[in-house]
Structure 1
Amino acid sequence: MGHDEHEHPGLAHDLRRMAQVIERRQALRWLAAAGLLPLLGCGNDDASGGTSDAGSGSGDGSCSVSPEETAGPYPGDGSNGPNVLSTSGVVRSDIRSSFGDMSGIAEGLLTTVTLTLVDTNANCAALSGYAIYLWHCDRDGHYSLYSEAEQNYLRGVQVTDSNGIVSFTTIFPACYSGRWPHMHIEVYPSVASATGSGNKIKTTQLALPQDACNAVYATTGYSQSVTNLSRVSLASDNVFSDGYSSELATATGNATDGYTVALTVGIAV
């Protein structure tokens, strides 16, 4: 009872098709690992950030490798001067105060930062047990340990939970001259390895959405940020100008009660 040739091309055809599928999957896996796949489902390059879904949840296949960015001149990770990661107490969720031998509290609008770490090689699966180091400038545009040498506030480490999530309580940072408002992120394989820059596996940045910046900078204490923000854009910023879709966070809340800022960070494991 043979089949017509036009209905079934035969075993040789099937084997060729299988080889093509395998080759395509291998190529996609290589491109993802190299960070060369196009951005998928991560919003658009809209400076307002109002409709960006860069901070959306994981596990739906719509994530990309977060761009590798500079840690800047004030990392506090031992790569340029002081190393806050070696200070007992750096693993904490509320980073508004200094700790260890230092004291002081950063003034500013209450802000919660929620980061979700995902594996871009595994359909955006959540990554648990990794350590994320977050740091940013204060309300005056200064970085602790550097221009604020007697402080180490606005720096801290958290470990991702079973959903790949970490959460920090902090303040909304300033816009200082020449840079779009942002936060710095380093990812480490574990909290035990989060002791210095030599162990990090990702350095990236979080861009704050313009709507939230405008609202916050109209409040008391942020007046100098208004002028600085008017002189820069995401398109002209020396970090975000080459594309910021996967770095533009979402922000919910208001300038009275505070904001929640969210971003998905993708790495290729």
Structure 2
Amino acid sequence: MRNLLDDDKDHDHAHPEGLRADLPRLLLGRRAVLAGVVGSGAALALIGPRVLAQGVVTGAAADGAVCVAQPAEMAGPFPADGTNVRAGQVVNILTERGVIREDIRSSIGGLRPVAAGVPMRLDLRLVDVRRGCAPLEGHAVYLWQCDAAGVYSIYGAADRTYLRGVAISDSGGRVRMLTVVPGTYPGRWPHLHFEVFASAAAAVDGAAALLTGQFAMPEEACRVAYRADPAYAASRAALDGVRLDRDGIFRNGTAAERAAQMLRLTGDASGFVATGEVGLVV
């Protein structure tokens, strides 16, 4: 399999200055792209959204492709986005230097631990359901997940801040991160948490999120990863005791929503590529 790290050689986006210091660079890049679109006379064919019987909002692009509005889900107890506290103090990693980065396996904020586990390249696409599934550029996505042992950094392990990071969507609406296949814990199906913000400027507190959601992991890929690396021992046992249709989050969605929330994985025990789409009603 192609080394998942190869694509990082020209995309080292670990910015030690933090979100606010990155704004001038991000905005300049966005203006340049927009100027190119206007100058070329490019146009998007827009088709209005529709609401299915179950209340699910969908959109359709000019080529017939359909996008589904991602359902909002709870952030859970471990977001570290300024909306909750740990040991009596507000926790907000979004204000830390280096939080904008593609490789989220390492810790930031002066901490050293690196997440163990099977590598996973995450490739998400943000689209506007109301505007014919048009890509959403310049949006910030904050991703967090538990590690191979099913533990969340900061909360379950105060000496580490790994598996948390922010990425900014490009002109195609895409964000990319390098992480590990998430572990799990009793009662929950393997999953990732995410929040979407209108801009990097807005991504300094979870209260400003346009959408808080969760992605589910395919069972077979998880089992392959969990068998391959001993760091997943606790997660392997936890997975045996849970079912997707009984998960407290994913069981409540419609079939269309559950399909939109399920990441698609390719690869093997040496590494996976995960793809997904985040449909927003903006």
Tell me the TM-score normalised to structure 1 length: 0.79
Moved more, 220-229 or 139-148: 220-229
List, as ranges, runs of 4+ consecutive aligned residues in structure 1 with deviation greater than 3 Å.
Answer: 28-32, 37-41, 57-61
Q: Say what the alpha-carbon RMSD is for the aligned residues.
A: 2.2
- The residue identity in structure 2 corresponding to 1:230 is D
Match of 2:76 among 72, 75, 78: 72
Pairwise mapping of residues 186-265 of structure 1 onto structure 2 (< 5 A)?
186-219=195-228, 220-243=230-253, 244-255=258-269, 257-265=270-278
Confirm or deny that 1:109 pairs with 2:118: yes
In structure 2, what is the Cα distance between the partners aligned to 1:108 and 1:146?
Answer: 19
Deviation, 1:60, is 4.3
Q: Residue in 2 aligned with 1:17? A: none
- The residue identity in structure 2 corresponding to 1:37 is V
Pairwise mapping of residues 99-178 of structure 1 onto structure 2 (< 5 A)?
99-178=108-187
Q: Which has the higher contact order (CA 8 A, sep 6+)?
A: 1
Quick one: structure 1 residues 71 and 58, their matched pair in 2 at CA, closer, same or farther if it must change by over 3 Å? farther
Structure 1, residues 43-73: CA drift from partner, whole Å, max 9, x if none? Answer: xxxxxxxxxxxxxx99744111101001010
The alignment partner of 1:161 has SS state of coil
In structure 2, what is the Cα distance between the partners aligned to 1:39 and 1:217?
Answer: 35
Could you list the runs of 5+ residues in structure 1 that have no partner in the other structure?
1-27, 42-56
Contact in 2 for aligned 1:178/1:237 (Cα 8 Å):
yes
The alignment partner of 1:133 has SS state of strand
The alignment partner of 1:222 has SS state of helix
Deviation, 1:31, is 4.1
Quick one: structure 1 residues 58 and 156, their matched pair in 2 at CA, closer, same or farther if it must change by over 3 Å? farther
Confirm or deny that 1:37 pairs with 2:53: no
In structure 2, what is the Cα distance between the partners aligned to 1:240 and 1:104?
Answer: 31
Quick one: structure 1 residues 237 and 128, their matched pair in 2 at CA, closer, same or farther if it must change by over 3 Å? same
Give the number of aligned pairs. 225
Contact in 1 for aligned 2:59/2:130 (Cα 8 Å):
no
Could you list the runs of 5+ residues in structure 2 that have no partner in the other structure?
1-47, 86-90
- The residue identity in structure 2 corresponding to 1:262 is T
Contact in 1 for aligned 2:264/2:275 (Cα 8 Å):
yes
Quick one: structure 1 residues 153 and 195, their matched pair in 2 at CA, closer, same or farther if it must change by over 3 Å? same
Tell me the TM-score normalised to structure 2 length: 0.75
Deviation, 1:231, is 1.2
Quick one: structure 1 residues 150 and 59, their matched pair in 2 at CA, closer, same or farther if it must change by over 3 Å? farther
